[in-house]
Amino acid sequence: MPLQILNNHSLKHHNSFGFNYYAEYFCLVNDAMELAELIMFVEDKQCSLTVIGSGSNVVLEGDVQGVVAINRIKGMSTSYIEGSTDCILELASGEIWHEAVEYSVRQGLYGIENLALIPGTAGAAPIQNIGAYGVEIKDILQEVEVYNRLTGALEWIGVADCHFSYRESRFKHEWKGSHIVTKIRLKLSTLANTQLDYFAKGTFNTFNPSALEIFNKVSAIRQKKLPDPKKLGNAGSFFKNPIVSDAKYLSLKHLYPDLVSYQQGDGWKLAAGWLIDRAGWKGRRAGGVGVYEAQALVLVNYDNETSDNLLKLQAAIVDDVKSKFGVQLEREPTALG
């Protein structure tokens, strides 16, 4: 059956904020054959191509020209390395990330348990360099398979060539539009190598919690802090945690002894949620959007069909935090439309 491409299709159910903008062309891609058909269509029309997974890390700002393709390519497998405690977990890019994490911990594998309940697909993980509780995808990523539109071939790219940094990669910049992620390979382990530094004391009942115990605890914490996008539109963490110099950190720490921060290289990563909360935005609501009552880092959409009011709220928060603390916030979800 040929790939079905629709015209002027609503994206309301394909972005987690639920904004009702339209794609000029729209399709679901279920396998490599359909991806090849899609590329042919795009080249024939000479139009732009935007591939998204669950739409959980985008903010639609208007109708989208060209093709919006939803990645539904599935596949998951493990390969244990003989004579080693390492295991390679290979994921097709359309796999739901949280389901892959749960699969890994139920296999007794360590490495991505801290990344439980992060919304989105496996293909989006390296693009955003997702992270939580002291772990980033770059820490366990081995390589990424992409369809390179410049060469017309599938290629494997090593982690070093992706130029990862905090919530950044080449996929968000010079490779945007040209490199379509099709698979990722993660190096996990059957031996415990847990990262517990970002958890409060007493979080776990033992000094050496299993991957499954960490997965369950992270899931429980995130469920308390983050609203279900199926019930209340949101994109999870809306702002990046800003990184400031040692001098800036010391000046803020002097003024605010309860400042939440973590050392990052020769600087300090500040908790954006703490800054927003301390500025008085937590729980505030206006124009059908607001700041979530349980987590100031999350902006929510109650009933808006467009993103206009959300963008106004974003700008107001950024300006206020800059004015009060001298710290510039950056948005985490990417703009589309």
Q: How confident is the model at residue 286 (pLDDT cuts 50, 70, 90)?
A: very high
Per-residue pLDDT tens over the stretch 42-92:
999 999 999 999 999 999 999 999 999 999 999 999 999 888 999 999 999
Write down the pTM of the prediction. Answer: 0.90
> Residue 298: helix, strand or coil by DSSP?
strand
- Verify whether residue 237 is a known catalytic residue: yes
Q: Using 50, 70 and 90 to split pLDDT, how confident is the model at 198?
A: confident
- What's the rounded mean pLDDT across residues 309-337? 97
The pLDDT score that the predictor gives to residue 207 is 85
For residue 306, pLDDT over 80 is answered with: yes
DSSP string, 166-188: TTB-GGGTTTTTTEEEEEEEEEE
pLDDT tens for each residue of 99-155 = 999 999 999 999 999 999 999 999 999 999 999 999 999 999 999 999 999 999 999
pLDDT given at position 79: 94
Per the prediction, the chain carries an average pLDDT of 95
Q: List the structure tokens of 311.
A: 């963008």
pLDDT higher than threshold 80 for residue 1: no
DSSP count for the chain of H helices, then E strands: 7, 20
167 has catalytic annotation: yes
Q: How far is the C-alpha of 210 from the C-alpha of 87, rounded, in Å?
A: 17
Instruction: Name the active-site residue from 237, 261, 278, 307.
Output: 237
Candidates 167, 185, 222, 278; catalytic one: 167
The answer to whether the beta carbons of residues 149 and 178 sit under 8 Å apart is yes
Closest to 179 in 3D by CA, of 222, 146, 156, 213:
146
- In Å, the largest CA–CA distance within the chain is 65
pLDDT confidence bin for 206, thresholds 50/70/90: confident
Instruction: Give 46's DSSP letter.
Output: T
The answer to whether residue 48 is catalytic is no
* Mean pLDDT, residues 290-301: 97
Instruction: Report pLDDT digits (tens) over 234-280.
Output: 999 999 999 999 999 999 999 999 999 988 888 999 999 999 999 99
The terminus-to-terminus CA distance of the chain in angstroms comes to 30
Percent of the chain with pLDDT over 70: 100
